[in-house]
Amino acid sequence: MNVKGFAIRSATAVATTGSIAVSALLAGSAWPARAQDGIDGLQAIGKPVPDGINFQPAVTDVARDIVWLDNFLLIVISVISLLVIGLLVVVAIRYNSWSNPTPARFTHNTPLEITWTVVPIIILLVIIPPSLSLLFKQMRIPDADLTIKATGNQWYWTHEYVDHGFEFDSFMLERGQLAEYGYADDEFLLAVDNAVVVPVNRTVVVQVTASDVIHAWTIPAFGVKQDAVPGRLTELWFRVDQEGVYFGQCSELCGKDHSYMPIVVKVVGDDVYEHWLDRMIAEYAEIPRQPGTLTLASD
Ligand SMILES: [Cu+2]
């Protein structure tokens, strides 16, 4: 673990101790738990739900397009599957050896062969435009309002705010720590001590890499997933239009604790983000923030 990461961990430990003392004082009261990063009142939007089988709520254009494309392809593939099953049933009933004792002896049917070649081509031509346009939308990285570098480690993430010269490690919380950090009980295995915080309606570019083996950074509700490969810097982007807490998990088998390195992104208003950023910079940045410094490229 690097020195800055250690500084944050130490600070967290101190803050945690303080919080336990406060909790003890408030024991029995109905006060909600205060998150360690000072960001409260956010709804957890992007997280798995019991018995859920569909996508998480889509909160970026890319995620909405993914859901649309998935539904569209589901219709196409359902029609194809029903047609093939129907044909198999017809063949099995009508052309079995009992109902059709004298088999026909022809081997070719030109109109039929042209049909089963042309129809799949038409289907592919219909599928290609929405698929490729979505792929280009994901892969063309726009100008960033905020750039974050995410480094996968065995088994935690390091998030660096490259424009502001600070970074922190994000470790999964133990079950007993959830309330202290403002998380619900069912967010065990998803919640981390230091969440990534980004402003709402801003373009965020995440540079993804790894320090040891291949990991993958993803937030399903944003429609982003990118392998983190040692020695390579890849990028993804998102622009979230709904404030809230969003969860993701490392999505590349990376060793024994692969399932214990989740990702949390808190999407907040500009004011809350600026306040959080000031606090982080004051505490952890190598370069102090200058008065009047622009923090977002689009401002
Ligand atoms: Cu991993």
Please report which confidence band the pLDDT of residue 165 belongs to, taking 50, 70 and 90 as the band edges: confident
Between the CA of 13 and the centroid of ligand 1 the distance, in Å, is: 24
Between the CA of 257 and the centroid of ligand 1 the distance, in Å, is: 8
Query: Is residue 239 in a domain?
Result: yes
Write down the pLDDT at residue 39: 83
Between the CA of 16 and the centroid of ligand 1 the distance, in Å, is: 26
Q: Is 299 a residue whose pLDDT tops 70?
A: no
Specify the number of domains making up the chain: 1
Instruction: Indicate which CATH number applies to the domain containing 177.
Output: 2.60.40.420
Between the CA of 140 and the centroid of ligand 1 the distance, in Å, is: 25
- Better-scored residue on pLDDT, 183 or 288: 183
Query: Is residue 184 in a domain?
Result: yes
Backbone angles phi, psi at 238, to 5 degrees: -155, 155
Between the CA of 70 and the centroid of ligand 1 the distance, in Å, is: 26
Q: Is the peptide bond before 276 cis (omega within 30 degrees of 0)?
A: no
Which of 7-16, 78-87, 97-106 has the least mean pLDDT? Answer: 7-16
Write down the pLDDT at residue 19: 42
Domain housing 249: 3-51+143-284
Query: Is residue 296 in a domain?
Result: no
Between the CA of 251 and the centroid of ligand 1 the distance, in Å, is: 7
Between the CA of 241 and the centroid of ligand 1 the distance, in Å, is: 28
CB atoms within 10 A of CB 211: 14
Coil, helix or strand at residue 67: helix
Query: Is residue 130 in a domain?
Result: no
Beta pairing class for 204-210 and 44-46: unpaired
Between the CA of 227 and the centroid of ligand 1 the distance, in Å, is: 9
Which of 4-8, 123-127, 171-175, 275-279 has the least mean pLDDT? Answer: 4-8
Query: Is residue 35 in a domain?
Result: yes
Between the CA of 198 and the centroid of ligand 1 the distance, in Å, is: 22
Residue carrying the six token digits 């969860």:
247
Question: pLDDT for 4-36, tens place per residue?
Answer: 443 444 444 434 444 433 333 333 333 444 566
Sheet of 262-268, strands arranged across: 44-46, 244-249, 262-268, 196-199
Q: Is 38 a residue whose pLDDT tops 90?
A: no
Share of the chain above pLDDT 70, in %: 83
Query: Is residue 161 in a domain?
Result: yes
Between the CA of 293 and the centroid of ligand 1 the distance, in Å, is: 35
Gyration radius of the chain's alpha carbons: 26
Query: Is residue 298 in a domain?
Result: no
Please report which confidence band the pLDDT of residue 37 belongs to, taking 50, 70 and 90 as the band edges: confident
Write the single-letter amino acid at 248. Answer: G
Query: Is residue 119 in a domain?
Result: no
